[in-house]
Amino acid sequence: MNYSRLTVVTGHYGSGKTNFSVNIALDIAAKGHKCTVIDLDIVNPYFRTADFGKLFEEHGIAVHAPVYANTNLDIPSLNIPLESILADGGYVVIDVGGDDEGAKALGRFAPLINGFADKEMLYVINKYRYLTKEPAEAVQVMREIEFSGGIACTGIVNNSNLGAETTPLTIRESLPFAEEVSKLTGLPIRATCAAEGAEADNAPELYTVKRYVHNVWEDECQ
């Protein structure tokens, strides 16, 4: 993938946007670029990019998150100096909370983000997740996120998967779904994510990812 200086990653709960955010941040750093991750997920207490602080530190990636991240505070503080971070150069990845409620935090930074030229807002979809199994449902969630956050999406990321049970067939069967979402929104498919060994032939913009985010029940079984 080619990255803009500022990449905003959003999507519905369970779409895998946090795992995608972690992958692209590590990818950017691996290419020798300065990278900062901003965790704006103020809704979901699980599967946060802020949870990967040690991993990011090992790769020289800076992390900014709401003050309440990994604490028991109910009301987060969004004292994140996005303007100075962007002015400092390098690449920035923003992981936004799922659905329109999560996108409200993004709205605070909308004027700054909309005025930044080298940016993109990627909408992550997963055909196999509840409430977005039909293209029209996925599009509706996207529109709600755009309205709440005040920023328009620029591309689609097909991250359809079944966790550890994902196979190339899983990916292939998701391609028509992603193509229909692309058609309905008029947005290009910027990536088709697949873990190593699950890559599907002819998948548009195939992007091999590692699974850094695991479901709680998977961790308990290890």
Dump pLDDT digits (tens) for 115-166: 999 999 999 999 999 888 899 999 999 999 999 999 999 999 999 999 889 9
What is the chain's alpha carbon radius of gyration, rounded to the nearest angstrom? 16
Residue 38, CA distances (Å) to 2, 9, 184 in order: 19, 10, 30
Where are the chain's structural domains?
6-220
How deeply is 54 buried, as exposed, middle or buried, from its count of CB atoms within 10 A (0-12, 13-18, 19+)?
exposed
Question: pLDDT tens-digit profile of 152-210?
Answer: 999 999 999 998 899 999 999 999 999 999 999 999 999 999 998 899 988 999 999 99
Identify the architecture of domain 6-220 in CATH: 3-Layer(aba) Sandwich (3.40)
Q: Please answer whether residues 213 and 16 qualify as being in contact, where contact means their C-beta atoms are separated by less than 8 angstroms.
A: yes
Strand partners, 94: 8, 38
| Whole-prediction pTM | 0.90
